[in-house]
């Protein structure tokens, strides 16, 4: 009996869906895009209406062959890549390559990987949406034209590695912010605070000077006016202190104000990235990688692989009615009826160009609390899932009710003020009480109430208070903050540049290209980034103009709505772009980026240069002086060879520690001998094979994952290898061999408790670790 074939992008997603659909369906993965523009040429026929010249990716040829064979044997083929432009394009490329009759080929989409969502999708298949495909094609072709035409010019003139429609604007924003930071001149100002208490109480509270001689006291950075005053220096501050120090302090005003604080909308891509950066310290790229695993499915014991969140690339705050109903049932049972608003809330985005094609990011099952799933999740998965779950549940809860008490105290010509906010009803704050970080958080609410209430005693108007201390404090205005990954994403979103699917890639690219570097949590332009940006702004002002780029994004969005022809849009862009490119080729001067190093041979400065292997230092006197200094991945000169305690296996000469493309390695000190080998971190455990004299060492797979294998692999191809560290001591009879089969024991760190297990796949020996064991 023929099966139906379902094609998705990732193997993890395929595994989860296969479990849901059962034996009647075969689920296979394309492993991302299978066809794209060629890597070594433009791949766009400009003269033939910008026709893309797609090629099957070389590494995907076996996958395409496998999918073609499976499609011919299936009774129906369902294309189920992600529900966005990129996913629609993958589905279209697959349909072109599979070349099946229309009645056999179907496009399905789902926003979450759950049994209900997938079964509903299978009941309502559709044809491929060519508007979505055209929107993606236009973006791909436009990005290729900009990158492929400008990048070679940058390479020749400044050793820049690439330009891009979105990445170059992001670099410009960072460079311009750096100019503002460097040019900033701090301005001095002072504050005055009074520590006060009631006459019969020793409990103090602090009140700040808010009015002096009939004028409102402001900071130097605030907007001034005829009725405002800045305490500019210590002389003015001491004048205030002297005037009130021995004076009376009388309560002049007591006010109470009730207010509500509304919950924030559930996450969209950018807000999730910002909150994960602010509260978990995750880079944007890491957030998306972890979210992808939660979306595609996590093994939940007997339940099998289960998708835990909805699709994570979205700009919509919309929530499905069924999901809201399920959340309301959970909230009522868990927290009580009073925590439910009368009606399920509706959130409207303030950003222009919202596609609203998908729901907000939310848990697929509200009753699967983070604590309930903790044993199945890695530390990173748990933290991000908890953030998503709490944000969504809170978004469906009642507003918090707050009470703010404000007390003003008069002393001569000075008025001091203290405020404290308390909660009358916690509402959504019972679940999600994240303090927003100004300039980086995504406060969707205008309410800026500080819940860290200071102690404020009950006082009455006219009551006399005692002063314990009058303290002046010096301050300086601060420069605009440098962008963090989170605040850069927010700015790009607010300006209408890029889309949810591009934010992480944009940040990763500008760092990888060495245009920007991380300094703790902030992004700073490198010398190369500043030089490239300067040339682009001078010669390609429109391409890196914020307004122009945002307008281009809007046009690309209108292609999806079938309001703009994508070929016409590209033609309209390319003609002036081609003229600009020609002028730049004629007028752009070569720029040398000088480092702090000097040539050891001629004394001239060393310039930062680039090659396909990365950056290096080259003498500014080239071609007369051809001195080069290699750089490490951190941009520092490569260290000289260092002695080691190892001996060469070929000639017994001492081995040297040498730096290469992938870090330190061992090389023979004899020029005639070419032996090289990696630096191995030994575990102290001998290889368990009787015919092998090697030891078990720590290694890395080609994907960067640590495993443990025999050091003699290169000599006799010993294949002893383990994903977990071998036990040293503390096993049965204080050894490290299995009591059943004598194979090596390994140590597994598991959430349900650390275990000692036999390394043999067919042996079932396992016992809980006692904490007395030692392992590699």
> Judging by beta carbons within 10 Å of its beta carbon (0-12, 13-18, 19+), is residue 700 exposed, middle or buried?
exposed
CA distance linking residue 694 with residue 677, whole number of Å: 15
The helix (H) or strand (E) run that includes residue 44 is strand 44-45
Concatenate the DSSP letters of all residues of 367-414 into one string. TS-HHHHGGGS-HHHHHHHHHHHHHHHHHTSPPEEEEEEEEEEEETTE
Q: What CA–CA distance (Å, rounded) separates 591 from 159? A: 9
Which residue carries 């999600």 as its tokens?
432
Sequence-separated contacts (24+) of 276-280 with Cβ below 8 Å: 276/384, 276/387, 277/440, 277/484, 277/485, 277/486, 277/521, 278/434, 278/437, 278/440, 278/441, 278/486, 279/387, 279/434, 280/383, 280/384, 280/387
Query: Of 25, 78, 311, 335, which is the active-site residue?
Result: 311
Query: Which two tokens mark 476?
Result: 């300086």
> Is-cis flag, bond preceding 623, omega within 30?
yes
CA angle 516, 522, 524 (to 5 degrees): 30
Q: Is 161 exposed, middle or buried (0-12, 13-18, 19+ CB in 10 A)?
A: buried
Handedness of CA 28, 33, 36, 39 (dihedral sign): negative
- Which of helix, strand or coil describes residue 30? coil
Could you confirm whether 311 is annotated as catalytic? yes
* SS3 at position 645: strand
| C-alpha 160: how far from chain center | 25
Write down how long the chain is: 776
DSSP result, 596-610: EEE-TTT-PEEEEEE
Report which of 148, 147, 154 is spatially closest to residue 538, judged by C-alpha positions.
154
Question: Can you tell me which residue has the tokens 């007390």?
Answer: 407
Of 107, 102, 72, 109, the residue nearest 92 (C-alpha): 107
Tokens of 752: 């349900």
d(CA 131, CA 558): 10
**Cα–Cα distance between 394 and 429 in angstroms, integer?**
7
Find residue 746's DSSP bridge partners. Answer: 726, 757
Alpha carbons within 13 angstroms on the beta-carbon side of residue 444 total: 21
Q: In this structure, are residues 316 and 272 in contact, taking their beta carbons and an 8 Å threshold?
A: no
Structure tokens at 770: 């006692």
Q: Mind giving me the DSSP string for 131-161?
A: HHHHHHHHHHHHHHHHHHHHHHHHHHHH---
Taking the C-alpha atoms of residue 176 and residue 546, their distance in angstroms, rounded to an integer, is: 12
CB-CB contact of 505 with 449 (8 Å)? no
Q: What is the dihedral of CA 683, 688, 692, 693, to 10 degrees?
A: 40
Sequence-distant (6+) residues with CB within 8 A of 689 are 710, 718, 720
Q: Pick from 8, 34, 2, 33: which is nearest to 20 by CA?
A: 8
Which H helix or E strand runs over 192? strand 188-198
Catalytic residues: 311
């Amino acid at each position: 009996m023929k099966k139906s074939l379902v094609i998705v992008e990732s193997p993890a997603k395929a595994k989860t869906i296969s479990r849901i659909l059962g034996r009647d369906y075969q689920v296979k993965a394309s492993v991302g895009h299978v066809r794209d523009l060629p890597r070594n040429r433009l791949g766009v026929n400009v003269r033939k209406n910008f026709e893309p010249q797609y090629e099957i990716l070389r590494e995907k040829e076996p996958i395409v062959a496998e999918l073609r064979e499976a499609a011919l044997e299936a009774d129906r083929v369902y294309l189920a890549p992600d529900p966005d432009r990129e996913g629609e394009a993958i589905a279209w490329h697959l349909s072109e390559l599979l070349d099946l009759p229309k009645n056999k080929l179907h496009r399905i989409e789902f926003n979450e990987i759950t049994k209900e969502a997938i079964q509903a999708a299978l009941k309502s298949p559709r044809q491929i949406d060519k508007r979505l495909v055209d929107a993606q094609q236009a973006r791909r072709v436009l990005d290729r034209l900009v990158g492929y035409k400008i990048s070679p010019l940058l390479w020749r003139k400044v050793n820049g590695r690439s330009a891009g429609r979105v990445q170059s604007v992001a670099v410009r924003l960072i460079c311009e912010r750096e100019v503002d930071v460097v040019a900033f001149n701090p301005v001095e100002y002072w504050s005055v605070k009074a520590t006060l208490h009631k006459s019969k109480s020793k409990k103090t509270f602090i009140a700040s000077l808010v009015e002096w001689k009939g004028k409102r006291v402001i900071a130097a950075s605030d907007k001034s006016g005829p009725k405002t005053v800045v305490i500019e220096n210590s002389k003015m501050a001491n004048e205030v202190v002297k005037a009130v120090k021995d004076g009376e302090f009388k309560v002049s005003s007591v006010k109470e104000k009730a207010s509500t604080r509304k919950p924030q909308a559930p996450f969209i891509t950018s807000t999730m990235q910002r909150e994960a950066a602010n509260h978990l310290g995750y880079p944007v790229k890491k957030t998306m990688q972890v979210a992808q695993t939660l979306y595609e499915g996590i093994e939940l014991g007997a339940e099998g692989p289960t998708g835990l969140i909805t699709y994570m690339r979205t700009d919509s705050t919309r929530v499905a009615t069924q999901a809201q109903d399920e959340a309301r049932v959970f909230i009522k049972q868990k927290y009580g009826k009073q925590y439910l608003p009368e009606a399920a809330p509706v959130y409207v985005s303030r950003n222009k160009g919202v596609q609203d094609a998908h729901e907000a990011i939310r848990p697929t099952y509200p009753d699967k609390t983070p604590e309930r799933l903790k044993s199945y999740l890695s530390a990173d998965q748990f933290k991000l899932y908890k953030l998503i779950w709490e944000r969504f549940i809170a978004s469906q809860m009642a507003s918090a009710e707050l009470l703010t008490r404000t007390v003003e105290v008069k002393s001569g010509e000075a008025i001091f003020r203290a405020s404290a906010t308390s909660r009358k009803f916690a509402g959504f704050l019972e679940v999600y009480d994240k303090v927003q970080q100004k300039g980086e958080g995504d406060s969707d609410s205008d309410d800026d109430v500080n819940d860290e209430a200071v102690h404020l005693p009950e006082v009455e108007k006219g009551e006399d208070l005692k002063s314990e201390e009058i303290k002046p404090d010096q301050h300086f205005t601060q420069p605009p903050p440098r962008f963090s990954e989170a605040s850069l994403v927010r700015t790009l979103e607010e300006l209408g540049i890029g889309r949810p699917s591009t934010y992480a890639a944009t940040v990763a690219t500008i760092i990888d290209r060495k245009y920007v570097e991380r300094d703790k949590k902030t992004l700073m332009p490198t010398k190369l980034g500043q030089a490239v940006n300067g040339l682009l702004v001078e010669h390609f002002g429109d391409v890196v103009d914020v307004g122009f780029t945002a307008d281009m994004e809007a046009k690309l969005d209108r292609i999806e709505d079938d309001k703009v022809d994508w070929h016409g849009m590209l033609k309209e862009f390319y003609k002036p772009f081609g003229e600009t490119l020609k002028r730049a080729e004629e007028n752009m001067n070569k720029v040398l980026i000088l480092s702090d190093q000097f040539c050891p041979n001629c004394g001239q400065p060393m310039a930062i240069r680039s090659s396909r292997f990365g950056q290096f230092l080259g003498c500014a006197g080239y071609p007369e002086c051809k001195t080069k200094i290699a750089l490490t991945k951190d941009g520092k000169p490569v260290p000289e060879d260092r002695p080691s305690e190892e001996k060469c296996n070929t000639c017994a000469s001492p081995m040297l520690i040498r730096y290469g493309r992938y870090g330190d390695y061992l090389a023979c000190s004899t020029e005639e001998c070419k032996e090289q080998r990696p630096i191995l971190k030994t575990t102290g455990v001998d290889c368990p094979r009787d015919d092998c004299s090697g030891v078990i060492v720590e290694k890395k797979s080609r994907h960067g994952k640590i495993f443990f294998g025999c050091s003699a692999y290169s000599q006799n191809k010993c294949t002893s290898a383990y994903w977990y560290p071998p036990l040293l001591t503390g096993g049965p009879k204080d050894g490290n061999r299995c009591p059943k089969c004598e194979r090596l024991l390994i140590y597994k760190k598991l959430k349900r408790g650390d275990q000692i297990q036999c390394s043999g796949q067919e042996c079932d020996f396992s016992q809980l670790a006692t904490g007395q064991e030692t392992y590699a």
